[in-house]
Chain A
Amino acid sequence: MFPELSIERVFRRELDSLPLPDERLWVPDPRATRPAVVVVSLRRRRT
């Protein structure tokens, strides 16, 4: 398939050039909590 190089080397050479996200995003930040869920309770009024 790739006569001059082993396929593993081609994969490494090409995929290693893909960009990485900002390092601050690597580990999820548990302080950034999910948006608060607003719970609305509806009461049935007796008519």
Chain B
Amino acid sequence: MAPERWELLYRQEFARVYRGLLAVLRDPDRALDALQDAFAAGLQKPPADGDDLAGWLFVVAVRSARRGLRRSFVRLDQVRSHVSKDEIEASLDRMEVGRLLAGLTERQRAMVVAQFYLGLDHREIARHFGVKTGTVSATLAQAKARMRAEVRNVS
């Protein structure tokens, strides 16, 4: 895939994937770093044709964030010029979804966001994360049970 084509596709999916990463990581700098890592990974080895691009970018970014990789392309002063981590956490804490996600592990949050925000099914989530479909089902079932319990506690 030509780099220009890859950049165009990446830009089309950026907003959705970035917001999904914010919900999982709760940190704008980590989310941006991780998504830019995924962009760089796609430049080197683009996803297969027909792959769900948002799902691919999301999972590659989540993995990158877990490894704690720091990108080297953007200067720190640029990274710090956007919204702060505290503002994002405050926004998420005001949201029903944000509060429910806060009670989950990062892995559970990633799969819940992949399903309910990015619209991936269990099979797609399993393929992207490199796990069995049964693992996805079990992780999502645990996450939903915890979210239901949280709703019951609040009401």
A interface with B by C-beta (< 8 Å) = 1-2, 7-8, 10-12, 14-22, 24-30, 32-34
User: A14 contacts which of B75, B96, B151 (Cβ < 8 Å)?
Assistant: B96
Query: B36 to A18, Cβ gap below 8 A?
Result: no
List the B residue with the shortest CB-CB distance to A2.
Answer: B96
Q: Which residues 105-143 of B sit at the A interface, judged by CB distance below 8 A?
A: 113, 116-117, 119
- Cβ–Cβ < 8 Å partners of B1 in chain A: none
- What 0/1 readout, one digit per residue, does chain B (1-40) give for beta carbons within 8 Å of chain A? 0000001001100110011101100001000100010011
Q: How far is the CA of A30 from the CA of B36 in the complex (A)?
A: 11
Query: A27 to B11, Cβ gap below 8 A?
Result: yes
In the complex where A1-B148, A11-B116, A15-B23 touch, is A28 in contact with B36 (Cβ < 8 A)?
yes
Query: B74 to A20, Cβ gap below 8 A?
Result: no
Q: Which residues 87-119 of B sit at the A interface, judged by CB distance below 8 A?
A: 87-88, 91-92, 95-98, 113, 116-117, 119
Query: B22 to A22, Cβ gap below 8 A?
Result: no
Query: B148 to A26, Cβ gap below 8 A?
Result: no
Query: B18 to A27, Cβ gap below 8 A?
Result: no
Query: A29 to B73, Cβ gap below 8 A?
Result: yes
Query: B74 to A8, Cβ gap below 8 A?
Result: no
- Cβ–Cβ < 8 Å partners of A26 in chain B: 10-11, 14
Query: A32 to B32, Cβ gap below 8 A?
Result: no
Smallest beta-carbon distance B111→chain A, Å: 13
Q: Which residues 32-85 of B sit at the A interface, judged by CB distance below 8 A?
A: 32, 36, 39-40, 71-75, 78-79, 81-83
- Cβ–Cβ < 8 Å partners of A28 in chain B: 36, 39-40, 71, 73-74
Q: How far is the CA of A6 from the CA of B4 in the complex (A)?
A: 37
User: A20 contacts which of B10, B18, B117 (Cβ < 8 Å)?
Assistant: B18
List the B residue with the shortest CB-CB distance to A29.
Answer: B73
Query: A15 to B19, Cβ gap below 8 A?
Result: yes
